[in-house]
Amino acid sequence: MPLSRRSFVRALGVGGAGTLAIPSWIHARGLEGARGDAAAARVLRDGMIRLHSNENPNGPVPAAIRAIHSAMHESAFYPASLERRVIAALAKANGMPEERIMVGSGSGEILRVAVQAFCSPSKHLVTAIPTFETPAQFARQLGVAVREVPLDAQLRIDTERMLREVRGAGLVFLCNPNNPTGHVLDKATVDAFLRAALAADPEVVILVDEAYHEFVNDPAYASALPITATEPRVFVSRTFSKIYGLAGLRIGYAFGAPATLGRMEAWRLPNGIGTLGQVAAIAALEDSAQMRREQDLNRAARSFTARWFSDAGYTVVPSQTNFVLVDVRRPAGDFALACARQEIQVGRTFPPLTNHSRISIGTMAEMERAVDVFRRVLG
C-alpha cells in the first residue's frame, strides 16, 4: 500500500528524535502551500488537509521508497551518470528511442528552457489564460512578449483564437489536460490545431504539456506523442510529480526530435536531478499495476467531490485530472481563507476566473472531511 506523505518523511528517518525539525510549510504539497493567496498561506499549519497543489495524496509507490533507501549512500556523488538509466526506463515504458527523450528538474525546468531556446525579443510566446503559468511568467522575466488567449465560454482552450496569434511566435504552449480547469481537448482538435499552427509559421515550435496525461479516461483523447515522431517542431512534456507521487524529488521529461531537445539541453542546469529522484523514477515506472490503482482511487474521489458540488447547486468544470475547478459564486480567495481556517487548504485564485476554486483530489477520507468544511463555508 502506498505511503502517505508523513509516512514518507518518517521512512527517510527525518523529523524523529534527534533530527532537524521540518518547517510546517514543507508538509504542504508543494511550494503552493507557502504562497498563492497570502492570507490563506498565513494560516497554514500541521494537520491541515492540503488540497492545493495537485500532488498524489498517497505518496510515492513502495518500490520508489525502497529504491530511495537503497541509494542513500549514492547521495555523496554527483548524479549525472544515472540520467541514461532514467532515459532508458522512459524509452522502454513509452516505446520511444532514447535519443528522443530529455529529462529535467521537474517539467518546470523543461518549460523554462523551452522559452529560453525558442523565444526571443522578436519571437513571442502564445499561451492560453488561465493555464499553467510557468512559461508566461518566465517569458516576461526574459522580456519576451506574451500573447494570452482567453478560454472559450465552456472554459476550454480556444485553439481557433490561439491560431490567430501563431505567426511570428517562437513557442506555442498547449496544456492538455489544462490546469487549472481540468478540461481535455480531444485528439481531432489537437491534431487540427498542431497542423494549422505549424503551417502558419515555418519556424514556430509547439510544446504540448501532458502533466496530467495518466489521469485521462476520455476515449476521445490521445497523447500528442505520435506526432513528435514525424514533426520535429512539436514536443511533449510530462512529469513524475502527479500520478507517480514524486513532486518533492523534481523530475520531469520531454519527448521530441533530437535537434529540438538539443536546443533546450544547452539551457539545462547540470546535475539538476538528484540521485534519489532518478532511482525513484525508475522504480515507479516499473510498477504499472500501482499506477492503475492510483487512477482508480483518483477517479472515485474526484467523482465523489464533483457530485457533491453539483448536488449542492455549484457548477463544476468537467475534469480529466486529479483536481476539479468549481464556481463557488464568491471570491475564490475568500473561500480559500475560510477553508484554511477550518483545516482545509485549497488552490489559489486563477485570474480571470476569480470566483472559481481549484480543489486538488485527496484520499476519499480527506475528501469526505473536506466537503463537510465546504458545506459550512458555503452555507
Grid cell, residue 109, equals 525546468
Question: CATH number for the domain including 231?
Answer: 3.40.640.10
Q: CB under 8 Å to 258, separation ≥6 — which residues?
A: 99, 100
Instruction: Give 47-69 pLDDT, tens digit per residue.
Output: 789 999 999 999 898 899 999 99
- Total domains in the chain come to 2
Query: Residues 78-100: pLDDT tens digits?
Result: 887 789 999 999 999 999 999 99
Which residue is associated with the grid cell 490561439?
A: 162
Quick one: cell of 141?
A: 522575466
Instruction: Mark whether 274 and 332 lie in a shared domain.
Output: no
Q: Which residue has the cell 520535429?
A: 232
Q: Are residues 281 and 292 located together in one domain of the fold?
A: no
Residue 302 has pLDDT above 70, yes or no: yes
Closest by CA position to 171, among listed 230, 256, 252? 256
User: Where residue 5 falls among pLDDT bands split at 50, 70, 90?
Assistant: very low
Same domain (yes/no): 91, 191 = yes
141 plus 231 within the same structural domain: yes
Q: pLDDT-derived band of residue 375, with 50, 70 and 90 as boundaries?
A: very high
Strands (E) in 25-98, as ranges, are: 49-51
Domain range for 373 is 5-61+288-378
Statement to judge: residues 56 and 70 lie in one domain? no
- The residue among 285, 303, 325 that closes a domain is 285
pLDDT at site 147? 98
β-strand pairing of 234-239 with 252-255: antiparallel
pLDDT tens digit string along 107-164?
999 999 999 999 999 999 999 999 999 999 999 999 999 999 999 999 999 999 999 9
Residues 236 and 116 in one domain: yes
> Do residue 175 and residue 123 come from a single domain?
yes
pLDDT computed for residue 45 by the predictor: 58
Nearest C-alpha neighbor of 114 from the set 189, 196, 174: 174
Q: Report the pLDDT averaged over residues 300-327.
A: 98
| Mean pLDDT computed over 296-311 | 98
Q: Which of 248, 201, 222 lies closest to 56 in space, CA to CA?
A: 248
pTM, two decimal places:
0.87
Instruction: List the single range of 79-88, 119-128, 172-181, 346-355 with lowest mean pLDDT.
Output: 79-88
CA distances from 218 to 44, 290, 319 (A): 36, 20, 10
Q: Which of 246, 266, 285 is the last residue of a domain?
A: 285
Sheet strands (E) in the chain: 49-51, 101-104, 124-129, 146-150, 169-175, 205-209, 234-239, 252-255, 315-316, 323-327, 344-346, 356-360
Give 242's pLDDT tier (boundaries 50, 70, 90): very high
Question: pLDDT class for 34, splitting at 50, 70, 90?
Answer: very low
Is residue 13 pLDDT above 80, yes or no?
no
The mean pLDDT of the chain is 89
Answer whether 157's CB lies under 8 Å from 176's CB. Answer: yes
Confirm if 56 and 302 have CB atoms less than 8 A apart.
Answer: no
The answer on 159 and 23 residing in a single domain is no
Given a cut of 50, is residue 189 above it in pLDDT? yes
Q: Are residues 130 and 49 in the same domain?
A: no
Same domain, 161 and 30: no
Predicted pLDDT of residue 32: 44
Res. 70 pLDDT band, cuts 50 70 90: very high
